[in-house]
Structure 1
Amino acid sequence: MQKEDIYLIDMWRLLRREWMWFLAVFVAVLLATFAYMRSAKPQWQADAWIRIGQVGTAPSGQDPKIEPLQRVLERLQLIPFQNQVLQGIGLTLNAPEAKLYRKSLKVEPLPYAGPLVKLSVRAHSPQQARQLAEATVAALQAIHQEMAAPQLRLAHQRLDEAQRDLQSVMADREHLQQTVAQNKDNFAGMLLMNKNDELSDLQQTRDDLLNRLGDAYTYDTALMWPVYVPDHTAFPNPVLIWGMGVVGGLFLGMVAAVGRNALRRRTLQPAGWVGAG
C-alpha cells in the first residue's frame, strides 16, 4: 500500500484534527444555499394538453388534421408566434415575464393519443402561468380556425347543394308518382325508379356530409383537459436544492480539511526531508 493512500480511519483522524476547517466550509455552503433559496424568484409551471383540430370532410387518404403534428410543434416554438401570445395578453416583449415564457416553453408530442401536444410554460405566479398556457392554446386555435375555414365553407356549400338537389328530386318524384297513379304510364314508371335511385344517392351523400361535419369528425383545436398548475413551485425545488447544498458542503468541507492538513504537514516537515528520499 502506498504512503499516499488514505484509509477511512486516517480520514477520521484527519477530520478530528481539522474539524474547524471542515465545519467552517460546510456552514458557509449551507449559508450560501439558504441565501440562494431566499433570493431565487419562485416559478410555477402550467401544463396543458392540446388536441389538434380536424375537418372530417377531407378527401379520402388525406390527413383530416388541420395541421400536421410536426408543424404544430414547430409553430409553437416560433418566436413570432410566442410574441403574438405575449402581446395578446398585454405583456411587453422585453419584460422578464416574456423572457421566462420563451425560455421555459416546452412542447412534447403525444402522437398515439389523438394526437395530442403537451405544452409546459412557467411564470412567477400560478395565475400567470395558467393565463400564458391558455393564451397559447387560444392563439393556436385562432390560427387553425382560419386555416380550416375554406375547407369548412366548401363542405357546407356541398351540403347546401345536396339539400337543394334532394328537395328538387323529392318534388319530381312526387309529381311522377301522381302521374303513374293517374295514367298508368310505363315511361313515367321508369323515370320514377330512376328518381328513387337518385333520391337514395342524394340522401346518402347528405347524411355522410352531416356525419363528417358532426362533432365526432370535425372539431376545433382546443384543450383536452383544463390547464393543470400544481400547488407547489417548480423552481426552486427545496428538497433538491438543500440536498445539493448538503452534499456539496460535505464534499467541499472534506476538500478543505484535506488541503489544510496537507499544508500543515508540509509546514512541519524538516527542510531537508524531501531531498533525503
Structure 2
Amino acid sequence: MERDEIYLIDLWRIFTREWLWFVLVLVLTLACTWAFAHLAKRQWEATAWIQIAQVGLVPPGQDPKVEPLQRVTERLQLVPFKNEVLASAGYAKTSAVARLYRNSLKLEPMLYAGSLVKLTVRAYSREQAGALAAATVARLRAVHRELEEAPLKAAHARLAQLEADLQSAEADRARYQQAAAAGNRREAGGQDVANPMLASLLLAGKNEEIRSLRQARGDLVERLGPAYTYDTSMVWPAYVPERQAFPNPELTWGIGLLLGIFLGSSAALARDVARRSRG
C-alpha cells in the first residue's frame, strides 16, 4: 500500500512538473477533434421496415411469400441489385453517394414480427437517405411483381373458370326449376326430364353443385383480397432522425477528450523520462 502511495505521489509530481506538455497535447487533440467534428461530411441514417409480397393461393403447408425471407436478404445485399437501386434513384454507381449506400446498407430479418426485414441505409442528407430507402423497396417490389405474376395469373384464370361454371350451373338450375314446377317434358342438360320428381332430384344435385362452386369462389376471392395477397411495401414510412448519424457530437467529443488525456499523460511521462536521462 505504501509503495502505491509513493508511486501516486511521484506521478502527481511528474504531472505538476510537466503540466505544460500535458496541456499542450490535450489542447492539440481537442483542436483536432473540433476540426473533425466540423469538417467531416455529415451522414444521416434512414430506417425502413419491409413487408415481403405474398400470394394467398398456395397449397397447404407452403409459404405464401413470393420469396423466402433469407433469399430476400441475400438479394438486397447483391452489388448488382444495389447498383440497380442507385440507377433508379439517379446516382452513378461510382459516385460518393453510391459508395456510402453500398457500404452502409444493413439488414435485420424480423421473424417474430411477421417476416419483416429491417433496412438501414446512410446518405449525405435526410432527404437523400429517405429517398434511397424508398428506392430500395421500390426496386424489390418490381422484382417481386415479376415473381408473383405467374401464380396470380393462374389464380385469376381459376376464378374466371369458377364464375363460368357457376353461371352454367345456375342456368341449369333455372331449367330444372321450370320443369319441376310445370311437370312437363323438357330437355335440360342433355337429359329428358320425364316427370317433376326426376326434375326435383336433378334440382337438388344442382343446388349442391352451386353451393360448392360459390364456396370455392368465395374462398378464392378472399385469398386474392388484401388480407392474403399484397405487394412488397414499407409497413411504415422510412424514419430519418433530425440529428445526423455521423459524426455523433457526444461520441466524438467523448473519444477526443479521453484520447487527449491519454496522449497528454503519455507526453508528460515521456518528457519526464527524457529529462531524467539527460540528467
Residue 223 (1) aligns with residue 234 (2): yes
Q: 1 CA distance for matches of 2:41 and 2:131?
A: 19
Q: 1 CA distance for matches of 2:5 and 2:81?
A: 60
Equivalent in the alignment of 1:104: 104
Q: 2 CA distance for matches of 1:191 and 1:112?
A: 52
Decide which of 205, 208, 222 is 1:194's aligned counterpart.
Answer: 205
Quick check: 214-223 or 185-194, which moved more? 185-194
Amino acid of the residue matched to residue 66 of structure 1?
V
Q: Secondary structure of the residue that 1:112 maps to in structure 2?
A: helix
Runs of 4+ displaced beyond 6 Å: 1-6
Equivalent in the alignment of 2:148: 148
Equivalent in the alignment of 2:264: 253
Equivalent in the alignment of 1:90: 90
Q: 1 CA distance for matches of 2:147 and 2:269?
A: 68
Shift of 1:212: 0.3
* Deviation readout 1:186-213 (Å, 9 max, x if unpaired): 2222111110111111001000001100
Q: Secondary structure of the residue that 1:235 maps to in structure 2?
A: coil
Give unmatched runs, 5+ long, in structure 2. Answer: 184-194
Q: Judging changes above 3 Å, is the alpha-carbon distance between structure 1 residues 5 and 267 closer, same or farther for their aligned structure 2 residues? A: farther
Q: 1 CA distance for matches of 2:227 and 2:122?
A: 33
Equivalent in the alignment of 1:41: 41
Equivalent in the alignment of 1:275: none
Q: Secondary structure of the residue that 2:28 maps to in structure 1?
A: helix
Shift of 1:6: 6.2
Amino acid of the residue matched to residue 37 of structure 1?
A
Q: 1 CA distance for matches of 2:273 and 2:60?
A: 79
Identity of aligned residues (%): 53
CA RMSD after TM alignment? 1.5
Decide which of 225, 239, 244 is 1:214's aligned counterpart.
Answer: 225
Give the TM-score normalised by structure 1. Answer: 0.94
Equivalent in the alignment of 1:203: 214
Quick check: 182-191 or 50-59, which moved more? 182-191
Shift of 1:244: 0.4
Q: 1 CA distance for matches of 2:104 and 2:37?
A: 20
Aligned residue pairs, count: 268
Amino acid of the residue matched to residue 228 of structure 2?
Y
Give the TM-score normalised by structure 2. Answer: 0.93
Equivalent in the alignment of 2:30: 30
Q: 1 CA distance for matches of 2:277 and 2:237?
A: 67
Q: Secondary structure of the residue that 1:227 maps to in structure 2?
A: coil
Shift of 1:54: 0.2
Give unmatched runs, 5+ long, in structure 1. Answer: 269-277
Q: Secondary structure of the residue that 2:119 maps to in structure 1?
A: strand
Q: 1 CA distance for matches of 2:38 and 2:233?
A: 38
Shift of 1:38: 2.0
Equivalent in the alignment of 1:243: 254
